[in-house]
Amino acid sequence: MSSESKFGDYGGQFVPEALMPAIEELTDAYERYVIDNEDGFMDEFRRRLADFGGRPLPLQRADQLSARYDTEVYLKREDLLHGGAHKLNNALGQVLLAKYMGKERIIAETGAGQHGTATAMAAAHLDMPCEIYMGETDIARQRPNVFRMRINDAEVNPVTTGRGTLKEAISETMRDWATTVETTHYVIGSIVGPAPFPAMVRDFQSVISEEAREQIQEQTGGLPDAVLACAGGGSNTMGAFHHFVPDDDVDLYAVEAGGSSLSVDEEEGVAPNSASLSTGDEGVLHGARTKLLQDSDGQIMESHSVSAGLDYAGVGPELAHLVDEGRVTPVNVDDDTALEAFHRLSQDEGIIPALETAHAFGYLERVAGPATDDRAAEPRDEHHDELGDTVIVNVSGRGDKDLETVIEETQKRDLDIAPDMSIFNEIGGGI
């Protein structure tokens, strides 16, 4: 592990002066406790990941998908982590670190509510008071996660500025932190933000690839040809990639949300996707230089994805750098393909994935799926042959939280694969 603050030209610490003491204190704590294991911090972190979080988690061969794609498909089951997504790896690490630093209070922001929920759980587990900032719009559309946070006794502070979504919630949390740094730690939820957050969050998430790299060798006797993970901010992505980065023969694919289209409406300031790695330009957002969705004047654009957890205009600086270096291949999958993949994994493997996760499976279908009328007409993706014989897909989370969205979005479309839901009409419940 190392405390790099820059990844090529990306990363850095673009924060107001008032936050610099907090950033320096955190950098020092990260180096001592996480990198040097002072006071046995990492041992305690590992123990709690095991007995509270449920690690190690299985690497499971997907029998039906392996047959469908004529490729050995292995699933890294982060959906089985306590809370239902990979997010707890990081939230638990940071809340524990805050304790070692002598902090008395935890704050965090959340968009879809997954990070807020993981932070609230970790804070309850470690007996720390916790406040979560969340945009008003997001509170309205992510009610189950708001309930979970409240039930774990976290305060949820509604943010009413702007569009009431993640971007405003982040600004509000930064504002809180600037005036409370002595007592408070801000738990950032992905490999984004000013250094040391991107490297630190990656280190906490890298347990994913540490386990998966050993497990695949035990099960197949070798390394995989490719690892696939969906990318929002990029924390499950870098977690799944980290220990494979030095293995040059292992291809790494970051699957972004292609939304409804890759084209952009500059006048409206809207990108109908969240594909910052594939289509973004360099700029500064939330404390770091990275690839962003922005217009020609450098204004950050609104992003879109059917999956709330991928709906972010930026991406972690390390991932942006690995893409520039050619080590990570950015690809994207649109809303329709992700929804189909959601149903396929549910029906074929008995695993209901998060909509974020479904994007990674959508890519598999697109490059390795059987020819269809549509697909036969198009040249197959150039990566088809390169995907190889053994592939690991990171199942970043489970889809319980997405069921309402999936039913609504499925009904809007004519998807052959969707199950018939008319039973709900017959029993009069409606959906």
Ligand X SMILES: *Cc1c(COP(=O)(O)O)cnc(C)c1O
- How near is the Cβ of 236 to ligand X at its closest, in Å? 3
**Tokens 């805050």 correspond to what residue?**
98
> d(Cα 229, Cα 250) in Å, to the nearest integer?
13
**Tokens 């990941």 correspond to what residue?**
49
Catalytic residue (one of 72, 76, 87, 131) = 87
Q: Which stretch binds ligand X (CB under 6 A): 19-27, 40-48, 232-240, 266-274?
A: 232-240
- How near is the Cβ of 32 to ligand X at its closest, in Å? 25
Contact track, ligand X, 168-207, x by CB under 6 A: ----------------------x-----------------
Q: Does 232 bind ligand X (CB under 6 A)?
A: yes
Among 173, 236, 332, 390, interactor with ligand X by CB under 6 A: 236
Task: Confirm whether 172 is a catalytic residue.
Answer: no
Among 55, 76, 77, 87, interactor with ligand X by CB under 6 A: 87
Task: Confirm whether 87 is a catalytic residue.
Answer: yes
**Token digits for 177?**
């932190």
- How near is the Cβ of 240 to ligand X at its closest, in Å? 9
Among 110, 137, 165, 357, interactor with ligand X by CB under 6 A: 357
Q: How many residues bind ligand X (CB under 6 A)?
A: 19
- How near is the Cβ of 357 to ligand X at its closest, in Å? 6
- How near is the Cβ of 393 to ligand X at its closest, in Å? 12
Q: Which stretch binds ligand X (CB under 6 A): 55-63, 210-218, 286-294, 351-359?
A: 351-359
Question: Which of 190/303 has CB closer to ligand X?
Answer: 190
Q: Which stretch binds ligand X (CB under 6 A): 44-52, 224-232, 291-299, 335-343?
A: 224-232
- How near is the Cβ of 407 to ligand X at its closest, in Å? 18
Q: Does 396 bind ligand X (CB under 6 A)?
A: yes
Phi, psi of 60 (to 5 degrees): -115, 135
Q: Does 237 bind ligand X (CB under 6 A)?
A: yes
> d(Cα 91, Cα 187) in Å, to the nearest integer?
7
Q: Does 309 bind ligand X (CB under 6 A)?
A: yes
**Token digits for 14?**
């673009």
Q: Which stretch binds ligand X (CB under 6 A): 53-61, 231-239, 261-269, 367-375?
A: 231-239
Name the residue number minimizing CB distance to ligand X: 397
Task: Confirm whether 303 is a catalytic residue.
Answer: no
Catalytic residue (one of 211, 356, 396, 401) = 396
Question: Which of 85/159 has CB closer to ligand X?
Answer: 85
- How near is the Cβ of 358 to ligand X at its closest, in Å? 10
Q: Does 397 bind ligand X (CB under 6 A)?
A: yes
Among 122, 231, 301, 367, interactor with ligand X by CB under 6 A: 231
Q: Does 233 bind ligand X (CB under 6 A)?
A: yes
Q: How many CB atoms lie within 10 A of CB 400?
A: 11
- How near is the Cβ of 267 to ligand X at its closest, in Å? 29
Mapping DSSP onto H, E and C, the string for the chain reads CCCCCEECCEECCCCCHHHHHHHHHHHHHHHHHHHCCHHHHHHHHHHHHHHCCCCCCCEEECHHHHHHHCCEEEEECHHHCCCCECHHHHHHHHHHHHHHCCCCEEEEEECCCHHHHHHHHHHHHCCCCEEEEEEHHHHHHCHHHHHHHHHCCCEEEEECCCCCCHHHHHHHHHHHHHHHCCCEEECCCCCCCCCCHHHHHHHHHCHHHHHHHHHHHHHHCCCCCEEEEECCCCHHHHHHHHHHCCCCCCEEEEEEEEECCCCCECCCCECCCCCHHHHCEEEEECCEEEEECECCCCCECECCCCCHHHCCCCCCHHHHHHHHCCCEEEEEEEHHHHHHHHHHHHHHHCCCECHHHHHHHHHHHHHHCCCCHHHHHCCCCCCCHHHCCEEEEECCEECHHHHHHHHHHHHHCCCCCCCCCCHHHHCCCCC
Catalytic residue (one of 5, 72, 76, 109) = 109
Residue 274 near residue 301 (C-beta atoms within 8 A): no
Q: Does 252 bind ligand X (CB under 6 A)?
A: no
Interface ranges with ligand X (CB under 6 A) = 85, 87, 114, 190, 230-237, 309-310, 354, 356-357, 396-397
| Residues labelled as active-site residues | 87, 109, 396
